[in-house]
Chains A and B, each alone.
Chain A
Amino acid sequence: MNKIVKYVIADLLRSRTVMVYAAALLVLSFSVFSIEDNADKGVVSLLNIILFVVPLVSIIFSTVYLYNSAEFIELLVSQPLKRRTIWLSIFTGLAGAVALAFLVGVGIPILLYAFTPSGIMLLLCGMLLSVVFVSVALWAAVRIRDKAKGIGLSILLWLYFALLFDALVLFILFQFADYPIEKGMIAVSMLNPIDISRILILLQVDLSAMMGYTGAIFRNFFGTGWGMAITTLVLLLWVAVPVCFSTRFFERRDL
């Protein structure tokens, strides 16, 4: 398994896209922190950009990479290797490379400007989010044979998680504004890894006061040890479930 991970990472680094991504994040974070004088304000500004960019890059880059390495995968499948090992190695390599790029690109500025709980939370959530969207990309790419359709699906998935989901939630919120749905909102937010990350980071920044009664409920839930444990578990499930499904599908797939 380690061997294939090694070759996947070597292949990824040769393509330079990951390097450019890390450099772009680095420039972005440095510029945000040099504009904002307050560390927490910097984190919030950065948060909004990151929650948009990281899922997009992770999912599109991974999907494109998977389609482009169809030959590589075919070559490996004809060798004495378990399909499960091949697929999980590709996942590990991709997730490792994307998360590492994020760690370098955002980690260095945070270390210098905002080494606070909120900054560290941003770093952790960003890395987990990268892995989540690599995992979702794996599922999309294994299900659809056609490259254009596959990339289309991953763009749609990103749109859904980054924009449409929030719109839907807002719609429900307004429709049911007269009912006590705050607790339900916590459950609903678990359905979107981007939302979970946003709430987790905002709570660290202490902006929850601005979120009204729902914010207080969130604080009560996410602020506690149990809440954090459950949230982390849910985020990990967001990684594990798509990987699991895609592995099962890949094991039965014709190449």
Chain B
Amino acid sequence: MITIQQLSKRFGKLQVLDDVSLTLLGGECVALIGPNGSGKTTLIKAILGMVVPQSGTIFFKGNPIGRQWEYRRDIGYMPQIGRYPENMTIGQVLDMMRDIRKMPEATLDKDLFDVFELHNMLDKRMGTLSGGTRQKVSACLAFMFKPEVLILDEPTAGLDPVATELLKDKILAERSKDKLIVITSHVLSDLDDLATQIIYMQDGRPLFHKSLDVLKEETGADKLGKAIAKVMAKEAAGKGVTV
């Protein structure tokens, strides 16, 4: 559904994305992992057209995104840090998004809105919300318009355990509907239940792109965390570094 070809992005002297080529298909839940500053968020922002790459192309359903904007109708994005106008209330933010996306009320997906019980705090201003509540609003907005692609940047950061489980259930439900879900997270145990494919980014390029099962088989580990640790250890050994 999304094809990335030789994507490169530099911020000043810093090479954030270095010749990235990836193919992401529907029905998969792709976990994008890697150390801080490895280019995960930049890659996501490039897909959303928020960051303009120096070279390379991104194809969305076969069409290059260039400076297009219509394709974003099919993407639900949950940012790492949900930032909203401080003076607007939750209700106003939801209304505004509905207004922008122009979807009939009846076809909206309000599951998360209901399970997170946001209807109790529609009048609260965004500026007064806790980080977790903001995340709930972001999650709600990402899923509300039934997009074909969901891009979730650190979705569980800041959420309480109950909300995390509710969100994970929702992600699993959407995965079974043949949607493409891209998640970045540092909480590997969360990804264990969700991801079907793993992309490991380092220094702006994907080190590997494998399905979770293959990765576990190769490393002989039963958990994603252990598998990644083993890969990293092997990588370090290959470079002649003792861990």
Partner-B contacts on A (CB < 8 A): 3-4, 7, 10-11, 14-15, 68-72, 74-83, 251-255
Contacts and interface: CB of A to CB of B under 8 A. Distances in A.
Contact of B83 (A3, A7, A75): A75
Contact of A255 (B50, B67, B97): B50
B157 interface: no
Interface string B80-96: 00011111100010001
Given A11-B87, A71-B83, A79-B100, A252 B52 contact: yes
Contact of B50 (A10, A72, A74, A82): A74
A78 B79 contact: yes
B72 A3 contact: no
Name, among A10, A78, A252, the residue most crowded by chain B CB atoms within 10 Å (CB to CB). Answer: A78
Contacts of B52: 252-254
B99 A80 contact: no
B45 A71 contact: no
Chain A facing B: main interface SS? helix
25 contacts: A3-B100, A4-B100, A11-B87, A14-B87, A14-B88, A15-B87, A71-B84, A72-B84, A74-B83, A75-B83, A77-B48, A77-B49, A78-B50, A79-B97, A79-B100, A79-B101, A80-B72, A80-B73, A80-B100, A80-B101, A81-B100, A82-B69, A252-B52, A254-B52, A255-B50
A69 B45 CA distance: 19
Interface of B: 11, 45, 48-52, 67, 69-73, 77, 79, 83-88, 92, 96-97, 99-101
Contacts of A75: 83-85
A182 to B, nearest CB: 48
A78 B48 contact: yes
B46 to A, nearest CB: 9
Nearest to A82: B69
A255 B45 contact: yes
Contacts of B49: 77
Nearest to B42: A254
Nearest to A253: B52
B37 to A, nearest CB: 16
A162 B189 CA distance: 61
Contact of B51 (A15, A80, A254): A254
Name, among B11, B100, B101, the residue most crowded by chain A CB atoms within 10 Å (CB to CB). Answer: B100
Contacts of A81: 69, 72, 100
Nearest to A86: B69
Contacts of B72: 78-81
Nearest to A79: B100
Contact of B69 (A10, A15, A80): A80
A234 to B, nearest CB: 32
A77 B79 CA distance: 12
Contacts of A79: 72, 97, 100-101
Nearest to B88: A11
Contacts of B73: 80
